[in-house]
Amino acid sequence: MPELPEVETTRRGIAPHVEGREITEVIVRQSRLRLPVPDDLIDRLVGARIGTLSRRAKYLLMPFEGEPASLLWHLGMSGSLRIVRLGELPRKHDHLDLVMADGAVLRYHDPRRFGFVDWLAGDATQDSRLARLGPEPLSEGFDGERLYAMSRGRRLAVKPFLMDNAVVVGVGNIYAAEALFLAGIDPRRAAGRISRERYTRLAAAVREVLAAAITQGGTTLRDFVGGTGEPGYFAQRLNVYGRDGEPCRRCGADLRLVILGQRASVFCGQCQT
């Protein structure tokens, strides 16, 4: 599933090609996504001019100039957006095109169709999918003090606690596992039994892991123009994610796999306590 860095890289990759552009045509090839494509989307979008793109958690927001309305995109499990030129033949699973006046085409691709695009009238931040979200992990609203305060009395394991969007948004399975390794915290530990000092380290580790992923994503921006549009999970040297049974890069012990919150979690029993 595309996580926060992948969605942020998508935003940065497509923004220069769509912001300020007028939509002249909308092509819907497959309307049955996770949410049905709105029936009136073509009427609403043709002639509209795209404003400045933003991201909230794993959602991409596309506002329009001169009216309080936005498109809300979610890439689901396998969705991607890329820029192609007018006339380029669609691939299988290319479900939706927004054609710009200058000939650029924003094309949505989603083999599993778990993503969606939805029309939001009015203030997008008041939409129920966005209004209850916690702070962005790279914002001033997220720190160790918040994690410590929200964890008191919680028996939930710290890894699913960290992945709760009401606590902090966008820290998915990969980056939660990597941050907990950097902070030296066992993902199985009860969230309420972790000290303020250790949460301070964990918040810093979350910032470090996500910032590094976003920075490395900058090298893939060319893939959004005439390419696959899929940033993937960057060429990172992951410490624990997906490395069950391999040696820990820090101490050499075999990494272990457990299931937490129905998600696979790999950790080092020596370095994470």
88 counts as catalytic: no
What is the model's pLDDT at position 231?
A: 73
Active-site residue, from 3, 6, 178, 230: 3
What is the model's pLDDT at position 232?
A: 65
Prediction pTM value: 0.89
**155 marked as binding residue:** no
What is the model's pLDDT at position 125?
A: 87
Q: Tell the burial category of 258 from Cβ atoms under 10 Å away from its Cβ (0-12, 13-18, 19+).
A: middle
Mean pLDDT of 105-118: 96
CB 108, CB 81: distance < 8 Å: yes
**74 marked as binding residue:** no
Kindly tell me if the per-residue pLDDT of 39 is higher than 80.
yes
Place of tokens 């329009």: 64
**112 marked as binding residue:** yes
Domains of the chain: 4-131 (3.20.190.10), 144-267 (1.10.8.50)
Helices 196-217 and 4-18 sit at what angle, rounded to 10 degrees?
40
Active-site residue, from 49, 113, 250, 263: 263
159 counts as catalytic: no
pLDDT digits (tens, 9 = 90+) for 70-79: 999 999 988 9
92 counts as catalytic: no
What is the model's pLDDT at position 217?
A: 78
